[in-house]
Amino acid sequence: MSCERQLKGAKITGVGYYVPEKILTNADLEKIVDTSDKWIVERSGIRERHISSDDQAASDLAYEASLKALEKSGVKAEELDQIIVGTATSDMLFPATACLLQNMLGAKKAAAYDLTAACSGFIFGVSIADSMISSGKAEKILVVGVELLSRITDYTDRATCVLFGDGAGAAVIESCSPQEGILSTFIKTDGEYTDLLYLPGGGSRNPLTEESIKKGEQYIHMKGSELFKYAVKAMVQAAREALGSVGLGPEDVDFLIPHQANIRIIQGVRKRLKLKKEQVVINIDRMGNTSTASIPIALGELEESNIIKKGNLVLLVAFGGGLTWGSILFRK
Ligand code: UT7
């Protein structure tokens, strides 16, 4: 008798996204810091970003995106086995935003937990969901990437405040036959460079005090140009790993959805992978950098556009603080 485990496949069956109504344009930012629309567009590709209202928290954005993803997939919240929320701006340090979301959705059966992998959180979440489903531990998992970066952005620091936006994206992942859906996943971390992108205050190392707040330690600290150097290299590696592990190459890809951190990073990745402009999904001009939410938002927009067809090969590639990076390759 064989005791070999039968691996199942895992498939994204519904994607939803939500961005807050309020839009902050480059012209708005010109009024609050010493910057210009020209600089922001040329250096980052961003024209506007969505900003949450004061009464919205991560669970609220996640809830809106999740409802849409569930509706698209036809899965009921009560059927979910797990909820994984990637975020660095959870409602509170604990309980996990996933627990709050579980209650809001009425997903009584689901084990719910957060993970923090900065901008790569959604990719890490889908990778875990894929493993859980393919090993038979779960059948239906909701993965959410949500970020309210406006809450941890210093709007007196022109080097960071022009970049970030708020939003949420969600995907329902379900079991399927091994030949369908997700073909490969890749996740990677290099903890040597934690100082390139981090939030110094508010954790157990450095709880917020009057003094630390005066120093601005409640805000994102970023060494942008140093981070830039790693971004293109890491994303290209992630793309090649996911493709290479199943014997495919960039020439097989129909759509690349890169993390939306900077248009120049996206172009660098596109050129190294020798992809055409129309193969790369870009929404950074309208969304800014929404960290872990950027890939599921872009995927949601791609699905809505109807240009993606059944059978298309889609590659999701992220890079972020940690440093963390990774990729998901799937057949639509
Ligand atoms: O999502 C996670 C991953 N994130 C990333 O990978 C981000 C990677 N980094 C970047 O996207 C870019 O480094 C930035 C967009 C953050 C910055 O672009 P850059 O071309 O690397 O600019 P820089 O930081 O080297 O700054 C160049 C100049 C500086 O002036 P000096 O020192 O040359 O006089 C800055 O002070 O641009 C100045 N500058 C600005 N000027 C106008 C920085 N921010 C601004 C601004 N408006 N908003």
For 115-161, how does the pLDDT look when each residue is reduced to its tens digit (9 = 90+)?
Answer: 999 999 999 999 999 999 999 999 999 999 999 999 999 999 999 99
pTM: 0.96
Q: Whose CA is nearest to atom 17 of ligand 1?
A: 224
CATH architecture type of domain 183-331: 3-Layer(aba) Sandwich (3.40)
119 lines ligand 1 (CB under 6 A): yes
Q: Whose CA is nearest to atom 16 of ligand 1?
A: 224
Q: Which residues contact residue 242 at a Cβ distance below 8 angstroms, ignoring those fewer than 6 apart? A: 183, 184, 185, 186, 315, 317, 327, 328, 329
Q: Ligand 1 pocket test: which of 38, 153, 225, 297 has the largest number of ligand atoms within 8 Å of its C-beta?
A: 225
Contact between 45 and 264 (Cβ < 8 Å): yes
CA distance 261 to 11: 26
All structural domains of the chain with their residue ranges? 9-181, 183-331
Q: Summarize pLDDT for 291-317 with one digit per residue, the tens.
A: 999 999 999 999 999 899 999 999 999
Q: Whose CA is nearest to atom 11 of ligand 1?
A: 262
Q: Summarize pLDDT for 103-112 with one digit per residue, the tens.
A: 999 999 999 9
Distance 228 CA to ligand 1 centre (A): 9
Distance 288 CA to ligand 1 centre (A): 14
The β-bridge partners of 198 are 221
CA distance 309 to 301: 14
Q: Which of 26, 50, 99, 119 is catalytic?
A: 119
For residue 6, pLDDT beyond 70 = no
Q: Which atom of ligand 1 has the smallest separation from the CA of 29? A: 48
Q: Summarize pLDDT for 33-58 with one digit per residue, the tens.
A: 999 999 999 999 999 999 999 999 99
Contact between 174 and 75 (Cβ < 8 Å): yes
Mark 71-95 as b/e (b = at least 16 C-beta within 10 Å): ebbebebebbbbbbbbbbbbbeeee
What percent of the chain has pLDDT above 90?
Answer: 96
Residue 46's alpha-carbon distances to 114, 121, 252, 283, 326, in angstroms, are 28, 22, 29, 9, 23
Locate 22 and state its tokens. 């309020």
183-331 matches 9-181 in CATH topology: yes
CA distance 275 to 115: 31
Identify whether 312 is a catalytic site residue.
no
Residue range 9-181 forms a domain whose CATH class is alpha beta
Distance 296 CA to ligand 1 centre (A): 25
Residue 263's alpha-carbon distances to 113, 120, 299, in angstroms, are 32, 17, 17
Identify whether 103 is a catalytic site residue.
no
Distance 158 CA to ligand 1 centre (A): 9
For residue 287, pLDDT beyond 60 = yes
Identify whether 119 is a catalytic site residue.
yes
Q: Summarize pLDDT for 247-281 with one digit per residue, the tens.
A: 999 999 999 999 999 999 999 999 999 999 999 99
Distance 56 CA to ligand 1 centre (A): 29
Locate 92 and state its tokens. 């509170």
Of residues 181, 184, 179, the one with CA closest to residue 141: 181
Query: Which single residue is written with the structure tokens 């030949």?
Result: 179
Residue 323, preceding peptide bond in cis (omega within 30° of 0): yes
So what's the pLDDT on residue 29? 98
